[in-house]
Amino acid sequence: MPATPHRSTGMNVENVTGPVAHHAEGPVWWPGWGGLRWVDGEAGDLLTLSDEGVHRMHVDDGYLAFLRPRRNGGFVAVGAHDLYLAGAPEETPRPVARLVGDPAVRMNDGGCDPQGRLLAGSMAYDASPGAGALLRVDADLAVAPLLPSVTVSNGIAFSPGGERAYYVDSMSHRVDVLEFEDGELVERRVLAEVPASDGVPDGLTVAADGSVWVAVWGAGRVIGLDASGAEIARITLPVPQVSACTFGGDDLGTLFITTSAQGLASGHGTEAGSVYAARPGVHGLPVLPFAG
């Protein structure tokens, strides 16, 4: 992928929802359910943006980590410890598999690979080093470990050709890249480092031009990286806790960005918990659905 000229740091950012969530995470755009969905993690709720406003569906009493569409309709959702399936976009999902049995550990961010397997990461509630893992869930709901001994498993997304994955274990303060060969993730190496003084890398997405867009928790920004890991763009938000991002809209040219009030003092005076939108000048890729 060729280097891309640096885009403006003064990019216009619009608040599209207001602070409707405490801990907004995991945004996904899918035409089959009408556009944008995301989670309010600690509430265990799934949120959907429509012309009438924001619709909220309760899924898990412990935590709701993320969701993805299913190839044959409906969606898959990952709760604190369980996997949920729904057969239609508005159907309340049902628990179908246990992903983690340790009560000190919960599920976190994830996505799907080009073969339609769900890649679901975990972390300890107290972020104990090495207590989490990245799991693979096959279409038949068989579960296998992919990356053991991670601390806070966060964003994962694939390059336009599906030949490599970009992955964040937040406490490593890195964005890593792995080759995707014969259905396995191999040759893990560092793409870019995010010094602790610059925030914590969190959720990410990949554009059609191959650039990687990373939410930086604690820094109030999303950064765009090229294939060498060089920063090519920066989107500044008016809230510090930026959790994840995804491309959406009819042309996949809008970057939707979730934010969180988690850890902020009461009376913080910001719009944390809102979903924001920006037009960074690149277009996204259709989300990879779950084959199960």
Q: What is the pLDDT of residue 3?
A: 39
Over residues 153-157, the mean pLDDT reads 98
Over residues 183-192, the mean pLDDT reads 96
Instruction: Give backbone dihedrals phi and psi of 142, rounded to 5 degrees, phi first.
Output: -65, 140
Contacts 24+ apart (CB under 8 A), 194-198: none
Evaluate if residue 222 carries a pLDDT over 80. yes
Q: What is the pLDDT of residue 1?
A: 36
Kindly report which listed range (8-12, 61-65, 68-72) carries the lowest average pLDDT score: 8-12
Over residues 65-75, the mean pLDDT reads 97
**74-130 pLDDT, tens per residue?**
999 999 999 999 999 999 999 999 999 999 999 999 999 999 999 999 999 999 999
82-86/75-79 β-pairing: antiparallel
Rounded Cα gap, residues 249 and 251, in angstroms? 5
Evaluate if residue 8 carries a pLDDT over 70. no
Over residues 244-268, the mean pLDDT reads 95
Strand, helix or coil at 252? coil
229: left (phi over 0), alpha (psi -120 to 50) or beta: left
Structure confidence at residue 10 as a pLDDT band (50, 70, 90): low
What percentage of the chain has pLDDT greater than the value 70? 97
- Using alpha carbons only, what angle is made at residue 236 by residues 200 and 282, rounded to the nearest 5 degrees? 100
Question: Among 79, 81, 69, which residue's Cα sits nearest to residue 34?
Answer: 69
Q: What is the pTM of this model?
A: 0.95
268: left (phi over 0), alpha (psi -120 to 50) or beta: alpha
* Choice between 267 and 220, residue whose per-residue pLDDT is larger: 220
Q: What is the pLDDT of residue 245?
A: 98
Over residues 131-148, the mean pLDDT reads 97
Question: Among 79, 24, 38, 9, which residue's Cα sits nearest to residue 287?
Answer: 38
Structure-block tokens of residue 100: 């983690």
Q: What sign for the dihedral angle of Cα 185, 190, 192, 196? A: positive
